[in-house]
Structures are given as structure tokens and as C-alpha cells.
Amino acid sequence: MRTMTDFYFQRALPVLRRNPKLTAMMVYSAGICIAVSIAAFAIWRLAERPPLEPTESPHRQSIHIRALI
């Protein structure tokens, strides 16, 4: 028993083979969608992260090398 997805996929293959511009446009669109979603996820993660403290912050403890010897 075939599913509807199989039916539409088998029906679309000859059309995509005959029309390379349509195939290229679909592949290009899929690539752009993937790139945009990766960029949006990266921006969302960057905006969610708390800001880093500067290295010269008074709250940061510094360990001097002489104290370790």
C-alpha cells in the first residue's frame, strides 16, 4: 500500500527531471531556508547569553603566580 507522499513524490520526479530550472530553484530555496534558520538560531542563542564580565572586573579574583609557589 502506497502513501500519498509516495504518490506525489513519484508524480513530481519526471517534472523535476524535465525542468532543471525548477529543480535548481527548489534546491536553492531549501538551502536559503536552512541558512536563515541556522542564522536565526545563532542570533537567538547569542541574545540569550548573559554579557561577559570584563577581565579587569573588581569582582574577579586574580591568583598571583608567586602565591602558588
Does 29 map to a domain?
Answer: yes
The pLDDT value given to residue 46: 85
Dist CA 22 CA 18 (whole Å): 9
Residue numbers of the domain that contains 35? 11-48
Does 30 map to a domain?
Answer: yes
Does 5 map to a domain?
Answer: no
Does 35 map to a domain?
Answer: yes
Dist CA 3 CA 13 (whole Å): 16
Query: How many domains are there within the chain?
Result: 1
Does 64 map to a domain?
Answer: no
Condensed to tens digits (0 to 9), the pLDDT of residues 16-66 reads 778 888 888 989 999 999 999 999 999 988 887 776 666 665 555 666 555
The pLDDT value given to residue 63: 60
Q: Is the model's pTM score more than 0.85?
A: no
**Please, how many CA atoms are within 13 Å of residue 52, restricted to the half-sphere of its CB?**
4
